[in-house]
Structure 1
Amino acid sequence: MLFLFFAPVLFLVVFGKKMLVFKSCSTVNKLSVACCMLFAHVTGIAAVYAGGKAQNSAYDLYFKNSYSQLSVERLGLLTTMRLDLQRLITGWSPEVELAVPHGSKYIPATPPSESLKENPNEREASGKIVEYNTLDIDFAKFAANEKNQQLKEMHQYFEQVQPTAKNKYTGKYKGYNLILITAEGFSPYAVHKDVTPTLYKLVNNGYRFTNFYNPLWGVSTSDGEYVACTGLIPKSGVWSFKQSGKNYLPFVMGNQLQKQNYKTMAFHDHSYTYYGRNVSHPNMGYEYKAVGNGLDVKKTWPESDLEMMEKTIPEYIDNQPFHTYYMTVSGHMQYSFTGNYIAYKNKNLVQNLPYSEQAKAYIATQVELDRALKYLLDQLEEAGIADKTLIALSPDHYPYGLDMKTINELAGHPVEKNFELYKSTFILYSKGMKPTTVKKPISSLDIIPTISNLLGLKYDSRLLMGQDIFSNTKPLVIFSNKSFITERGRYNSVTNQFISNNGKTVSKDYIKKMSAIVEEKFYYSAKILETDYYRRILAEN
């Protein structure tokens, strides 16, 4: 297939001189062409400037930020390809006006210290001492001793980020076994009481998160994993997870729980080296096994999540406490009964559903995940540890292998593409727990800080881009195009429109302030990856 793309070029190399006449043009003509090229380029740059410098404007995408989908629309395909190649070669990093310097002191867009001092009299009257999820890090000292201006700004920024307070959920599951799962292509459309009863049970008998979002990032599955496992926003233009393999990652679950004497293992029922997981996953503190390195499952496409559970559970279930991470694959596209082994395997279980063939094939792939989870629950029950094991499951991304027509069919209505398309399901479950509904807007960025708090682990909430779901911190859901959701409503960065929850108009200053916070999170998350920042401030601890 690739050869066919180059066939015309090869044809010209062989027969070009016989078919085309190449004559040297005059100096005047050469200068004329050069001047035309220069004029066209200058005119284009002038148009970029003339369009304003707002977020996601042509200027912003050309000079400061990277978002390929919008860049193609607003700058053109060739310019986007050129910028992408140029940035890849030069190791470019987004630029953004993050804060206003005040003397030698760095002031972020919204000084979190203001929030920390919120309702001080109420706290004093209650007699309670508020504790925060922070570590003993002297950012001011780091900043004072730092000669590198970029690192100095990072120290000053994180010093003033608002930490999340400990709460009644802190340590609720301390000492529990933890099973963390990133489920390929999982979505609310996979949950059916009769067809996928285990998924239905986990969704409805645990914490019910009615406003969970799972944004799609640049490197689809790998970036989805990165967000759920690290609590950081991926850096555009690179494979962030693989690049993190050389960094110190103290807040990922494997490394945190390994220090608590947990047995920590990770499994994936596809290729061991795919997306560089052979680099990233051992670095997270896991004994990592996948196809080609310690995990022997039937080689189909895709492979079976059920078989992965059957083969791997005996490796850790008798070694408590344990933490196991799974990246599944059975829910992978393409969604058809002819090109997908798992869909074909479970075809008879979905044939009576009132959906199209593609929709039924998708649900059939999720049946395999359902069976894998049932087997897991049965084994935990048999071992007598079901009520001492916390299960957390989130998707890597929405099932983009489905046509929008099929997604609309499964949803029962036309799905809005900037926000609703990414609305998903986060499972957090332990046997015997009381079902609890959480309406707060949250995202996959919030998984690591939330689980860290639930397990009573020591971590620094200032150094993660998400937040503990159960804290009283105001929600912030961030999307790859820098749209966001807050307690007041939704901001669409593409249309520059804010949709208020209560119909009231939101000030431009509020939108500007929240957009600046979002920009900061993108910027500093990338800098954490680039500079191996955690190692600089925490490795000795």
Structure 2
Amino acid sequence: MNKNGIFVQTALRCFIVAVCSELLFRLFSFATVFDMGLIRITLFSAAYALIAACICSLLPLKAGKTLSFILNWFLPVYAVFQLGYNGLMGHYISLKSAGQGTKVGDYIEPFMNCLRPEWFLLFVSPLLTGLFTLKTKAEREGQRFGLAMFLVMALLVNSIGVYTVHAAQLDSLYNDPAYIAKGFQEFGLGRYLIRDMTSGFRNTQEIAIEENVEEAEPSEDPQIRKIDDTAWIAARDAEQDETIKTIDSYLMNRPSTNFNEMTGVFEGKNFVYLLVESLDYMAFDEQLTPTLCKLMREGWNFSNHYTPRYTCTTGDSGFITEVDLIPDITICTENDFKDNAWPNGIFQQFANAGYSTSAFHNWWDEYYERRTYYANEGCQVYKNYDDLPIQTLTGWQSDLELMELSVPEFINQDKFMTAIITSAMHYPYEKYSVLGTRYLDEINEVHPDYPDAVKSYLSKCMDFDAAMKYLLDELEAAGKLEDTVIMFFNDHHPFELDEQTIADYSFTDFDRMEDLNIDRGQFIIYNAGQPAQEFTGVNSTFDILPTMLNLFNISYDPRLYMGADYFSSKEKVVYMPEGDWITDMGIYFMGSGEFKGREPEQGYKEAISKEIQNMLNISKMIFKSDYFKNRQFITTPKYENAAPAVEARRQAQAAAEERIEEITEGTE
């Protein structure tokens, strides 16, 4: 039997397996293999192999062989897990948010269904190198001097790799791997994993703040939202915490938005907010879901709306519309910072305006700790599966039942703002569920040739459609339909259904498989007293909160929110979790640097990318410092002027009431 030292065996095995794993992962994930990033990844792989071999050589022989075996299989298994998770959830996952991996544990079958046969080629290299080492006998090296030399060599190779990072101007991403896919592409699986695990020990936020050197002259334009920053400036100048001070300066220097003709259109009306699980274009069928189609057809349809998929998908989509900051893709933001104060949140803002606030959900807080962070956002009443007598069903609970139980809780209040978080349309679609089979007879009459999984999804959609009909009927019976605004949006497209199936059964006038269209979703506002309108400008989940605050004329400071009121003149930007972004000008793909759309002005792409990075960094700083706990007074500013559109409506209403009174007196 041949004899090789454990150093040689481990170094060769780790290097071969690492390079093969990186090559295959790049091919499967990015459809590319050979670029400058591959040179950097090869250098990092060599450094990793040498360091791993040194460590194994220093351990007792049995322990060294065991560690060598684990290292041989770890990277391929990690690669397959990331590919599968991306296939299931639509994004990669950081180890810092590994708690969300329980989703895979709870839904192992759909996770396994996402695995493609070719991905298992990743296991060939560890298998072959393992078989090779079975024919050789490993022995410990006795020369520590040789190991020290190899360790120095590893550090040298690693330094060259780090130099290429600097040369490619990737220092920011390397120091703070906020974009997972880009990190994999530029640094490789192994190096990204190391940087991800150690990023919490580095202070990496670099915020570019443009100080207003010249104070602008006071404007007489009545549309300008005038906010007095005197108290805020004083607090900033007296602040000892540099992080808080940095946040103060950044937010204070952000451009605000003005009043507009839509300010206060819904002032004083009730508000029902719905976060709809897995809602998609597929759900809108005139014969099967007539209520949904009515709401889209007769309401305000924001038809170019995007729902970015962050790490905690449903939770993050909701959290964005509640506090309007950019989630950290490496963690489950709303859970990690659930104890933060959110006086700027949607519930507290409406509570400040005299609304009774509440929220209802037909599952318990298994994934997202809503009871805690809703309370900190100003939600006065929260009831979920633990509080409501909801029937437990196989494959998620009924939204119709949720509506039947929750509507009586708020409909008789004088002025209510309530959030309803649904679950009926959640997968599984590939296997049995109660709601997935409840309406199959009706579906088979209309679409007998549809795949079973699509039928299951549509059956679940019909339950939600019935829930919305119940809501409309109850509001009308209570005489509150015209005085209530219903807003609903999707959290993400239906997971488990493959993207091609979603595209085939969406029946949209755009290709769901093109660009980032798989993440185009629904944002619909319905009020029986308003005419139907379609708004075609680009917008996203980030724009929902400031848009609704403006429509209800709630006192807020636009500078505190990362999105923008849709009806303002400020450019709307869709921030995707991996660094891509979309505006009305076009789409920017961070991975390739390609811009697809109208030719922008010089510096346009760089300016938006820089501002998004700043907003991401400032959001992290706000989360970690619990910023609004120290700055609650800035979240409900007192305007120095009133919105002209609001004043005009109030005067018109007063005149109408006066005219009615005159007519009434004349008939007596």
Q: Shorter-chain TM-score category? A: 0.7 to 0.9
1:524 to 618, 624, 631: 618
Deviations 1:80-120 (A, max 9, x none): 222222235x3x56534x32xxxxxx416xx7999x99xx9
Distance change (3 Å), C-alpha of 1:154 and 1:417: farther
Structure 1 position 141, deviation (Å):
2.3
2:319 to 226, 229, 250: 226
Give the letter aligned to residue 252 of structure 2: E
Q: Distance in 1 between matches of 2:483 and 2:438?
A: 33
Structure 1 position 181, deviation (Å):
0.9
Give the letter aligned to residue 407 of structure 1: I
2:289 equivalent in structure 1: 196
Q: Distance in 2 between matches of 1:222 and 1:349?
A: 33
1:75 equivalent in structure 2: 187
2:664 equivalent in structure 1: none
1:45 equivalent in structure 2: 162
Q: Distance in 2 between matches of 1:439 and 1:489?
A: 14
1:28 equivalent in structure 2: 145
Give the letter aligned to residue 395 of structure 1: N
User: Is 223-232 or 237-246 further displaced after alignment?
Assistant: 237-246
2:43 equivalent in structure 1: none
User: Is 265-274 or 349-358 further displaced after alignment?
Assistant: 349-358
Higher helix share: 2
Confirm or deny that 1:312 pairs with 2:437.
no
Structure 1 position 151, deviation (Å):
2.4
Confirm or deny that 1:95 pairs with 2:208.
no
Q: Distance in 1 between matches of 2:443 and 2:484?
A: 31
Q: Distance in 1 between matches of 2:565 and 2:140?
A: 69
1:462 equivalent in structure 2: 559
1:107 equivalent in structure 2: 210
1:153 match: secondary structure: helix
Give the letter aligned to residue 95 of structure 1: Q
Q: Distance in 2 between matches of 1:193 and 1:275?
A: 34
Give the letter aligned to residue 260 of structure 2: N
Distance change (3 Å), C-alpha of 1:26 and 1:417: farther
Deviations 1:179-206 (A, max 9, x none): 1111111122211111111111111111
1:376 equivalent in structure 2: 471
1:497 equivalent in structure 2: 594
Distance change (3 Å), C-alpha of 1:492 and 1:134: farther
1:325 match: secondary structure: strand
Distance change (3 Å), C-alpha of 1:24 and 1:446: same
Distance change (3 Å), C-alpha of 1:470 and 1:362: same
Structure 1 position 234, deviation (Å):
0.8
Residues 180 and 578 of structure 2 are in contact (CA less than 8 Å); yes or no, is this contact kept in structure 1? no
Structure 1 position 139, deviation (Å):
3.7
Residues 321 and 544 of structure 2 are in contact (CA less than 8 Å); yes or no, is this contact kept in structure 1? yes
Query: Higher relative contact order by CA 8 Å / sep ≥ 6: 1 or 2?
Result: 1
Deviations 1:459-508 (A, max 9, x none): 1101000111112222222211222222322222222122234xxx3234
1:390 equivalent in structure 2: 485
Residues 266 and 324 of structure 1 are in contact (CA less than 8 Å); yes or no, is this contact kept in structure 2? yes
Q: Distance in 1 between matches of 2:338 and 2:359?
A: 15
1:222 match: secondary structure: helix
Give the letter aligned to residue 544 of structure 2: I
1:274 match: secondary structure: coil
Residues 387 and 432 of structure 1 are in contact (CA less than 8 Å); yes or no, is this contact kept in structure 2? yes
2:401 match: secondary structure: helix
1:400 equivalent in structure 2: 495
1:366 equivalent in structure 2: 461
Distance change (3 Å), C-alpha of 1:67 and 1:198: same
Confirm or deny that 1:431 pairs with 2:524.
no
Q: Distance in 2 between matches of 1:386 and 1:136?
A: 39
1:245 to 338, 362, 365: 338
Residues 338-357 of structure 1 mapped to structure 2, 5 A cutoff: 338-351=431-444, 352-353=446-447, 354-357=449-452
Residues 138-153 of structure 1 mapped to structure 2, 5 A cutoff: 138-153=231-246
Q: Distance in 2 between matches of 1:298 and 1:137?
A: 54
User: Is 260-269 or 376-385 further displaced after alignment?
Assistant: 260-269
Structure 1 position 232, deviation (Å):
1.5
Deviations 1:238-268 (A, max 9, x none): 2221234322212322212223332221111
Distance change (3 Å), C-alpha of 1:34 and 1:470: same
Structure 1 position 339, deviation (Å):
3.6
Q: Distance in 2 between matches of 1:410 and 1:233?
A: 31
Q: Distance in 1 between matches of 2:433 and 2:184?
A: 32
2:544 to 439, 442, 447: 447
Residues 395 and 428 of structure 2 are in contact (CA less than 8 Å); yes or no, is this contact kept in structure 1? no
Deviations 1:497-536 (A, max 9, x none): 22234xxx32341111121222222122222222222222
Deviations 1:195-223 (A, max 9, x none): 11111111111112121111111221111
Distance change (3 Å), C-alpha of 1:525 and 1:112: farther
Give the letter aligned to residue 262 of structure 1: Y
Size of the alignment, in residue pairs? 502
User: Is 347-356 or 206-215 further displaced after alignment?
Assistant: 347-356
Distance change (3 Å), C-alpha of 1:369 and 1:530: same
Distance change (3 Å), C-alpha of 1:378 and 1:137: farther
Unaligned runs of 5+ in 1: 1-7, 14-18, 100-105
Residues 178-327 of structure 1 mapped to structure 2, 5 A cutoff: 178-286=271-379, 287-327=381-421
Q: Distance in 2 between matches of 1:210 and 1:135?
A: 36
TM-score (norm 2): 0.70
Give the letter aligned to residue 107 of structure 1: E
Confirm or deny that 1:485 pairs with 2:485.
no
Distance change (3 Å), C-alpha of 1:165 and 1:481: same
Distance change (3 Å), C-alpha of 1:442 and 1:400: same
Q: Distance in 2 between matches of 1:20 and 1:376?
A: 73
Distance change (3 Å), C-alpha of 1:467 and 1:38: same
Q: Distance in 2 between matches of 1:136 and 1:297?
A: 51
1:103 equivalent in structure 2: none
Q: Which has the larger radius of gyration?
A: 2
Q: Distance in 2 between matches of 1:385 and 1:161?
A: 39
Give the letter aligned to residue 541 of structure 2: S
Q: Distance in 2 between matches of 1:172 and 1:522?
A: 32
TM-score (norm 1): 0.85
1:350 match: secondary structure: helix
Deviations 1:302-350 (A, max 9, x none): 11111111111111111121111111111112222x2433212232333
Confirm or deny that 1:63 pairs with 2:160.
no
Unaligned runs of 5+ in 2: 1-64, 71-135, 637-668
